[in-house]
């Protein structure tokens, strides 16, 4: 990739650094997991100040495109997963009313149906063991905040079993995006303990369907679970936070 072909000469340092990394990803020069040049190397290559590179990296890190770690052999790398980055953007859109919890939930149903159907085709023993362990931890988690974290991890773990990376990342993104809203609604429920036990029973049913290899049944059980949980949150008085599904 020739830098002069990518950036106009009048571009500022910050924009140059951003364009260099994003164009490198698009061209295939930088792949998932690749380590990027150091801050000093990028500044010298682009003819810009190190502060401009540093600010560009902060933006890319906030977007989830790069990750940074300290220590020998670490540095800044192209991110290998986009689920949480997508989720952050969806959460911002939810906060700005650019999308609704109801729309995200309907999209989540479509994605999670396909995710668990894919997972049911070849349920790896170690993944099944992970799901069982999460259910056991849910049985011990009586506080809604702690349970919600485990609930999210359960759905994310199933999504990670799908053999379609984009499907997995989008499923993870939406689940993370709605996690705070679900947690707020759950904390307002009068019969949280009854709801908690019902959610655990649903998770057991999802796992059993997944293990059986019946993808269609697993998809339907998941669909029913999400819709039922949504209705419970709405009926529990979370109006204005949770809207009815059409």
Q: What pLDDT shows up at residue 238?
A: 55
Q: What pLDDT shows up at residue 201?
A: 97
* 71 to 42, 68, 217: CA distances (angstroms): 19, 10, 47
CB 140 within 8 Å of CB 121 = no
- The DSSP code for 68 is E
CA distance 26 to 28: 6
What SS3 state is found at 67? strand
Q: What pLDDT shows up at residue 32?
A: 79
Element of type H or E holding 43? helix 39-46
CB 90 within 8 Å of CB 177 = yes
Neighbour-count burial for 1-31, b at 16+ CB within 10 Å, e otherwise:
eeeeebbeeeeebbebbbbbbbbbbeeeebe
Q: What is the pTM of this model?
A: 0.69
Q: What pLDDT shows up at residue 210?
A: 97
CB atoms within 10 A of CB 126: 7
Q: What pLDDT shows up at residue 167?
A: 82
* 184 to 26, 97, 181: CA distances (angstroms): 39, 17, 5
Q: What pLDDT shows up at residue 10?
A: 37
Reading the chain (246 residues) residue by residue, the pLDDT tens digits are: 444 444 433 347 888 888 898 888 888 898 878 889 988 999 999 999 888 888 888 888 766 778 877 656 568 888 766 556 666 667 666 666 667 888 889 999 999 999 999 999 999 999 999 999 999 999 999 999 899 989 989 998 998 898 787 888 888 788 877 888 888 888 888 899 999 999 999 999 999 999 999 999 999 999 999 999 988 887 765 555 566 676
- The DSSP code for 33 is T
CB atoms within 10 A of CB 91: 20
């Amino acid at each position: 990739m020739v830098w002069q072909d990518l950036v106009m000469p009048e571009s500022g340092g910050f924009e140059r650094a951003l364009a260099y990394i994003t164009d490198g990803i698009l061209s295939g020069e930088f792949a998932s997991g690749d380590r990027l040049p150091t801050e000093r190397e990028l500044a010298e290559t682009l003819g810009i100040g190190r502060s401009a590179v540093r600010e560009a990296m902060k933006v890319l890190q906030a977007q989830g495109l790069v990750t940074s770690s300290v220590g020998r052999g670490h540095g800044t790398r192209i991110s290998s997963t986009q689920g949480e980055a997508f989720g952050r953007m969806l959460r911002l859109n939810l906060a700005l009313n650019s999308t609704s919890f109801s729309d995200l939930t309907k999209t989540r149903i479509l994605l999670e149906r396909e995710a668990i159907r894919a997972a049911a085709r070849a349920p790896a023993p170690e993944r099944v063991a992970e799901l069982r362990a999460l259910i056991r931890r849910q049985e011990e988690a009586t506080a809604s905040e702690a349970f919600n974290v485990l609930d999210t991890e359960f759905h994310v773990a199933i999504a990670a079993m799908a053999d379609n990376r984009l499907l997995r990342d989008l499923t993870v993104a939406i689940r993370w995006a709605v996690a705070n809203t679900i947690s707020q609604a759950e904390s307002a429920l009068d019969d949280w303990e009854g709801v908690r036990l019902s959610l655990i029973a649903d998770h057991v049913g999802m796992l059993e369907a997944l293990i059986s290899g019946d993808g269609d049944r697993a998809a339907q059980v998941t669909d029913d679970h999400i819709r039922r949980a949504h209705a419970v949150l709405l009926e529990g008085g979370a109006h204005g936070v949770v809207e009815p599904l059409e």
